[in-house]
Structure 1
Amino acid sequence: MTIRAVLFDFSGTLFRLEHDRSWLRDLTDHSGDPLDVEAQAELLRRMTAPVTLTVQLDDEHRHAWENRDLDPALHRKIYLEVLRQSGVPTVEQAKALYSRLVDPAEWTPYPDAETALKSVADQGLSVGVLSNIAFDIRPAFAEHGLDAYVDEFVLSYEVGAIKPDPTVFAMLLDRLGVAPEQALMIGDSATADGGARALGCSFALVDPLPTTERTDGLLTALREHSVL
């Protein structure tokens, strides 16, 4: 069936939170010494690629982890705990780092994001963004002029559902007025984003590499599904 809408994930798909060592410039360990290179690299990894749980959690914090994309307060709580367990010695330092994570201005679009979104929109196809996220990502799109190509945003913390729950895909499809068989979902998680297949959507997987290493992943996905 002809594709009438393309649904995009946000983190690792259209945008990426890139490593920035300037965030750690004034960071010290519990002894007051600057973090070594290895500790800095691990801390940045945990901040920018936090899909896999990397610390031990009690029941309270595990609940926060499992529901982090449904509640901004729980999202903040669990990431402050992850940062604490990752070697950030003070609450003030953890809060400063967390503010980077949830600041849309810190997120970088992939090199082909604009071309991909514009190409889809210019064909008269609907464009939706569907993200498991606990903060508003619309300003990131606006800052780069990409909001002009997006018809609908469905963000987990706003709608109370997360991928791969079919409900959240159905919400976006309903808003776009498109049947599942007429939609292509593009994302970096075969589990979460690939959940769209349960409804009958097509699915394309992209690799959440650094933006300098993945220059045409979105365009390739679109071509492989005959959208371009």
Structure 2
Amino acid sequence: MSDLDAVLFDYSGTLFRLEEDESWFAGMTLDSDERRDIDGHVQAELMRRLTAPTGRSVSMPPDALEAWMNRDLAPHLHREAYLHVLRESGLARHHAEALYAHVIDPACWTPYPDTATVLDGLRQRGIKTAVVSNIAFDVRPAFRALGPGGAVDEFVLSFEVGAVKPDAAIFQAALDRLDVPAGRALMVGDSDEADGGARALGCAFALVDPLPTRDRKDGLIAALWEHGIQM
């Protein structure tokens, strides 16, 4: 029997993953002397740069760095930061804008195979849930697309609450909304640095691997199992 009353989840790399579709890159090349084609390896690297939870992947002048450091607090900064990353990665601006449009479209994000099972299972067990994400666009439509299995009690998104993980304030906001003490909550995420910040408040923490969805069938189920919640 679990002693948890709530589970907090990260979004990207935890419940959903942004996985490239080859059609997104049709007609694109990298700016260089030889106009390099965007093959599978380049696609994978571009997607990594768009979804890595922490760190920088390209050089940044002061204005771009400022946008990058605050990207999850405001949509316009998010756009500026990631367009800079894509331009520095070699994409022409119109191609960068086209690819960025997929990043902020919840319909382009793929749920992990066990996402709906876990969310529905927690609801049936009376365990509250929240999505706690460093993000600058509304992810709620992605969960509505899952139907009843996508039900979540609270969405605590950095651009809406003005705090970014690992700042304790964003986790505290989730706990307050759920009316659950930290010692009765589990945070599940793919970044020990960002999501693991919940431990400072006394939450338990489970780390999942942000593998492609085809390669991680039951990562969420396994994470909950280790903390006494059996699906």
- The runs of 5 or more residues in structure 1 that have no matched partner are none
Per the alignment, residue 79 of structure 1 pairs with 82
Q: Verify the 8 A CA contact 1:181 1:202 in the aligned structure 2.
A: yes
Q: 1:40 to 1:197 in 2, by over 3 A?
A: closer
Choose 20-29 or 141-150, whichever is displaced more. Answer: 141-150
Answer yes or no: is 1:197 the counterpart of 2:182: no
CA distance in 2 between counterparts of 1:221 and 1:64 reads 34
Letter in 2 for 1:107: W
Q: What TM-score comes out, normalization by structure 1 length?
A: 0.94
In 2, Cα distance between equivalents of 1:115 and 1:96:
33
2:69 to 52, 58, 66: 66
Deviation at 1:34, TM superposition (A): 5.8
Partner of 1:7: 8
For 2:53 and 2:125, locate their aligned partners in 1 and report how far apart those are by CA, in whole Å. 35
Amino acid at match of 1:16: R
Equivalent residue number for residue 138 of structure 1: 140
- CA displacement at 1:144 relative to structure 2: 1.6
| Cα separation, 1, equivalents of 2:163 and 2:44 | 32
Conserved in 2, the CA contact under 8 Å of 1:117 and 1:146? Answer: no
In the alignment of these two chains, the number of paired residues is 227
Whole-Å Cα distance in 2 between the matches of residues 6 and 50 of structure 1?
Answer: 20
The SS at the match of 2:73 is coil
Equivalent residue number for residue 127 of structure 1: 129
1:42 deviates by 2.7
CA distance in 2 between counterparts of 1:182 and 1:113 reads 21
158-167 or 34-43, which moves further after superposition? 34-43
Q: Distance in 2 between matches of 1:36 and 1:138?
A: 31
Q: Which range moved further: 183-192 or 24-33? A: 24-33
Deviation of 1:26 after TM superposition, in Å, equals 1.3
What are the residue-to-residue correspondences of 1:108-123 with 2, within 5 Å? 108-123=110-125
Distance in 2 between residues matched to 1:107 and 1:114, nearest whole Å: 14
Tell me by how many angstroms 1:134 deviates.
0.5
| RMSD of aligned alpha carbons | 1.7
| 1:213 matched residue in structure 2 | 215
In the superposition, the TM-score normalised over structure 2's length comes to 0.93
Query: Could you say what secondary structure the match of 1:10 adopts?
Result: coil
Q: Write the deviation string for residues 176-208 of structure 1: whole angstroms up to 9, x where unpaired.
A: 010100101111111111111111111111001
CA gap 1:52/1:21 in 2 versus in 1, 3 angstroms: farther
